[in-house]
Amino acid sequence: MLNDKVAIITGGTRGIGLETARVFLENGAKVIIFGSRQETVDKALADLKQSGAEVEGYWPNLNDFAAVEKTIYEIAQKHERIDILVNNAGISANKKIEDTDPEEFASIIDLNVKAMFNVSKAVVPYMKKQGDGVILNTSSMVSIYGQPSGVGYPASKFAVNGLTKSLARELAPAHIRVNAVAPGITNTDMVAKLPKEMIDPLIQTIPLGRIGEPRDIANAFLFLASDLASYVTGEILSVDGAARA
């Protein structure tokens, strides 16, 4: 479904990002993963390369636009195009507001929103030059329903939805599609860090009777990245088992 497409995946070293890289590779894409540190990138590359896949990795500071722009330039020079960007890097939060330092709130917004802006801004000129492209963002079910604590995380994901819908309108004339996937509770290490008393009540709201797996979310990204979704832009695709918090 993605033969010879060049795809960049931020937060690609674990969880949903790593599984999305795997699914894209299975479908013929050339994948570049971004991670926070060289050691995590190297570990993920070793995992993905076991199948003989064509994959590479970088670890720019996503909050430093100059560093991001330089890395994107290197990728574009090497591959001559950038077809797909998956903005997946992010962090969660679960503290009550009175226990959350302003610096903690700012760090969530920086990685979940500012970094997404930075990488999107860096790839858009190349997508415009080639005449098409796809930008996909990881949102969350909490961008629709909020959550009982950890206000920075849903606040950031509401912002992701706004960025997605606005960029879709702005970039449509350039034939660049912009969509987001809003996962429900998914079996990742991020969710594993959340307290049981927060997760168990949410699981009770899932009619399908289970939490999601990373491949469930990766398959949604695959659809939106492919030509099957050629007339889909500005959408926030919920992949949550019909959960309603």
pLDDT tens track for 8-20 = 999 999 999 999 9
CA distance 174 to 26: 28
Domain encompassing residue 25 = 6-231
Question: How many angstroms separate the Cα of 26 from the Cα of each of 3, 23, 135, 171, 237?
Answer: 9, 5, 20, 28, 22
What are the tens digits of pLDDT across the range 147-189?
Answer: 889 999 999 999 999 999 999 999 999 999 999 999 998 988 8
Token pair in block for residue 152: 């920075």
CB-CB contact of 222 with 7 (8 Å): no
Computed over every residue of the chain, the mean pLDDT equals 95
Q: What is the pTM of this model?
A: 0.94
Tokens 């060289």 appear where?
38
What are the tens digits of pLDDT across the range 23-63?
Answer: 999 999 999 999 999 999 999 999 999 988 889 999 999 99
> What mean pLDDT is predicted for residues 119-123?
98
Inside any domain, residue 238: no
153 is known as an active-site residue = yes
Inside any domain, residue 190: yes
The dihedral region occupied by 100, where left means phi > 0, alpha psi between -120 and 50, and beta the remainder, is beta
CB-CB contact of 149 with 143 (8 Å): no
Query: What is the domain count for the chain?
Result: 1
Inside any domain, residue 217: yes
CA distance 230 to 237: 15
Residue 201 C-beta-side C-alpha neighbours within 13 Å: 6
Catalytic residue among 73, 126, 153, 231: 153
Inside any domain, residue 1: no
CATH of residue 59's domain is: 3.40.50.720
**Residue burial 100-139, b: 16+ Cβ < 10 Å; e: rest:** beeeebeebeebbbbbbbbbbebbbebbeebeebbbbbbb
Backbone phi and psi for residue 80, each to the nearest 5 degrees, phi listed first: 70, 0
Cα distance from N-terminal residue to C-terminal residue, the chain: 34
Inside any domain, residue 133: yes
Identify the pLDDT of residue 4. 94
Inside any domain, residue 236: no
Residue 244 predicted with pLDDT over 70? no
Inside any domain, residue 242: no
Q: According to DSSP H, which parts of the chain are helical?
A: 15-26, 38-48, 65-79, 102-109, 115-130, 142-145, 152-171, 189-192, 196-203, 214-225
Token pair in block for residue 34: 């971004």
Inside any domain, residue 151: yes
Cβ atoms within 10 Å, residue 173: 8
